[in-house]
Homo-oligomer: A and B are copies of this chain.
Amino acid sequence: MRKIADSTVRRLSLYLRFLEEFEGQGIETISSGALAGRGGTTSAQVRKDLSFFGSFGKRGLGYSVPELVQALHQILGLTRHYRVALIGAGKIGSALVENRGFRRRGFDFVAIFDRDPAKIGRALGGVQVEDVAQLEASLTRTHADIAVLVTPPEVAQSVADRLVHLGIKSILNFAPLQLVVPANVTVKTVNLALELEALAYHLANPN
């Protein structure tokens, strides 16, 4: 498949969210313009984004909401569940595990690791926290698809190396640094300090 821009994938994900909302309201059909208005983009952008994957609408009419929902599930790979391992059971980590929304969308936390003996053995969102020393032993059994990394920055890279070695291909990284991984591993980094600094920049340099 032709290379798709990350920005396109993210927008598709947004469209899907809106479409599910429309579907819940019993709306049958929607135009690219209406979808765009809801997602802060333009109708041409919506049509172009979808056109990379096929032709889902009817000219003159728009898109069938249920059909497009189904198509986007297919495109985004959401027709199956994903097994997620959490490394770091601190405040952010536990907030993620206990978030109902992820499970509803097919992301199941199947293993949780921490270094702190006070946390090991306790249950979070129905999963028992294991010693991060057991990472290899446990993940070999568990077969996680995605790792969520919420460790202190000092150990993030070495944990990432171990995850890569275990065959993990997708990492969601909350540690405030740039992970170095092989090209076939996808990392998405969420860096909150960086978001705040981008806001500070806009306050300091209003257009």
Q: Which residues of A contact B (CB under 8 A)?
A: 1, 3-4, 6, 9-10, 12-14, 16-17, 38-40, 75-78, 82, 84, 90-92, 94-96, 98-99, 101-102, 105-107, 145-146, 169-172, 176-178, 180, 184, 186, 188, 190-207
Known contacts A170-B203, A178-B39, A203-B169; is-contact A102 B13 (Cβ 8 Å): no
Which residue of chain B has its CB nearest to the CB of A177?
Answer: B17
Pairs A–B under 8 Å by Cβ, sample size 18? A14-B194, A16-B197, A17-B177, A76-B197, A77-B205, A82-B203, A84-B196, A90-B95, A91-B98, A92-B95, A95-B95, A102-B193, A170-B199, A170-B200, A172-B196, A172-B199, A190-B190, A190-B195
Q: Provide the bound-state CA to CA distance between A76 and B169, in Å.
A: 34
Known contacts A188-B195, A196-B107; is-contact A1 B169 (Cβ 8 Å): no
Which residue of chain B has its CB nearest to the CB of A107?
Answer: B196
Q: How many copies does the complex hold?
A: 2
Known contacts A14-B194, A102-B196, A207-B3; is-contact A186 B169 (Cβ 8 Å): no
Known contacts A91-B91, A184-B206; is-contact A77 B201 (Cβ 8 Å): yes
B residues near A186, Cβ cutoff 8 Å: 199, 202-203
Whether B172 contacts A14 by the Cβ 8 Å rule is: no
